[in-house]
Structure 1
Amino acid sequence: MNIIEETIEVAVPVRTAYNQWTQYKSFPRFMSTVKRVEQIRPNLTNWVIGFGPVRREFAAEIVEQIPDSHVVWRSLGGRSGHQGEVSFRTTEPDRTEISVRIRVKQHGAADLFSRFTHRVVRSELAHFKEFIEGLGQEGGAWRGSIRNGHVQPMEPEPPRSRVAHWPVG
């Protein structure tokens, strides 16, 4: 297996970064190689990725997902499978480190494929940074957990303050 690792820091809180990341259907808006993502179930997605005229479709199972911490997945079926993990870590109150680690099955031109995939992951993380920092907030959220491929109940939303703030003046 080849291992690709890439890390980037984004200028949003960890909750915002994590919440946006879990909106898989939005990936084509900012990732140039992701053409379509369909969420079949909370723990199952179908992806269409492509570069130039080459297209590849695969299903991915989310085997573990802990809000504001990490998402672990594995591709299902296919000739060139992979496993991956994205983790989120607060570096400052409004900054988050995002680390991606992908293990790709080796085949034919493994070294060339690995270098290409590493560049793509780096580029796509930079696109995510630009996208989330430009928005300043997430476009949705899924706050459930997944352990061993099984969906756990969603965590309750924190209570919102009901204190009225009146303009001074």
Structure 2
Amino acid sequence: MGTIEETIQIAVPVRTAYDQWTQFELFPRFMSVVRSVEQIRPSLVHWAVGAGPVRHEFTAEIVEQRPDALVAWRSLDGRHHGEVSFLELSPERTSVTVRVHTRGSGLKEALAAGRGPVRRAVRSGLAHFKEFIEGLGAASGAWRGTIRGGHVQPDETGRPAHPVPHWPHG
């Protein structure tokens, strides 16, 4: 198993960074390797990723989600799992850390997992996320619910437990 970890500091409040990150269907706007994302349910997300001729689709289950703190997932194909953590550094500054654990034994699987390209994609994606959210200054949507042990809890307003992304600029 290989682990990739990247951290970036972003000049927005932790709530803004977290709220934007939970708008998974908007990832193609700032992460070049993400082709499309479909939020099937609050805890189930289908991803299509790729670079050049290499393409991969997978479904990930969100196993834990805590507002302003953590989103943790596992791919249903068993190839990877990980987490994104959010740490308030000051009222207007947030540290975002992505950890991805890839599975594979042997040279063929290590090459297929593409740890080098995955590390570059995570690093680049975080840099583009920073530019994206700092440019907006506010999240384009939010879902404030929690997920623990597969159980989805509605957000603090009592709204239904499903994300409702919106884009404020048309």
Q: Give the TM-score of the pair, scaled to structure 2.
A: 0.87
Query: Which residue does 1:148 correspond to in 2?
Result: 149
Instruction: Report deviation, 1:129.
Output: 0.4
Q: Distance in 2 between matches of 1:92 and 1:143?
A: 21
Name the % identity.
Answer: 61
Q: For the residues of structure 2 that align with 1:114 and 1:26, how far apart are their CA atoms? A: 24
Distance 2:140 2:148 in 1: 25
Alignment of 1:56-135 (within 5 A): 56-77=56-77, 81-107=79-105, 108=108, 110=110, 113-135=114-136
SS of the residue aligned with 2:104?
coil
Q: Given residue 150 of structure 2, which amino acid in structure 1 is its aligned partner?
A: G
Residue type of the alignment partner of 1:152: Q
| Aligned counterpart, 2:20 | 20
For residues 47-104 of structure 1, give each alpha carbon's deviation from its aligned partner in whole angstroms, at most 9, with x where no partner exists.
00010011111000000000000000000026xx100100000001100000000100
Counterpart CA distance in 2 for 1:34 and 1:89 is 25
Structure 2 counterpart of 1:87, which letter? Answer: S
Q: CA deviation at 1:110?
A: 1.9
State the 1:153 CA deviation.
Answer: 2.1
Structure 2 unaligned blocks of 5 or more? 159-170
Change (3 A) 1:135 1:147: same
**Structure of larger gyration radius:** 1
Q: CA deviation at 1:109?
A: 5.6
Residue 26 of structure 1, CA deviation: 0.3
Give the Cα separation in 2 of the matches to 1:36 and 1:93: 32
* Letter aligned with residue 83 of structure 1: H
Question: What secondary structure sits across from 1:142 in the alignment?
Answer: coil
Aligned to 2:11: 11
Name structure 1 gaps, 5 residues minimum.
158-169
Once residues 91 and 49 of structure 1 are traced to their aligned partners in structure 2, the CA distance between those partners, rounded to angstroms, is 31
In the superposition, the TM-score normalised over structure 1's length comes to 0.88
Divergent runs of 4+, >3 A = none
Shift of 1:113: 2.2
Partner deviation per Cα, 1:15-47 (whole Å, 9 max, x = no partner) = 000000000000001110000000000000000
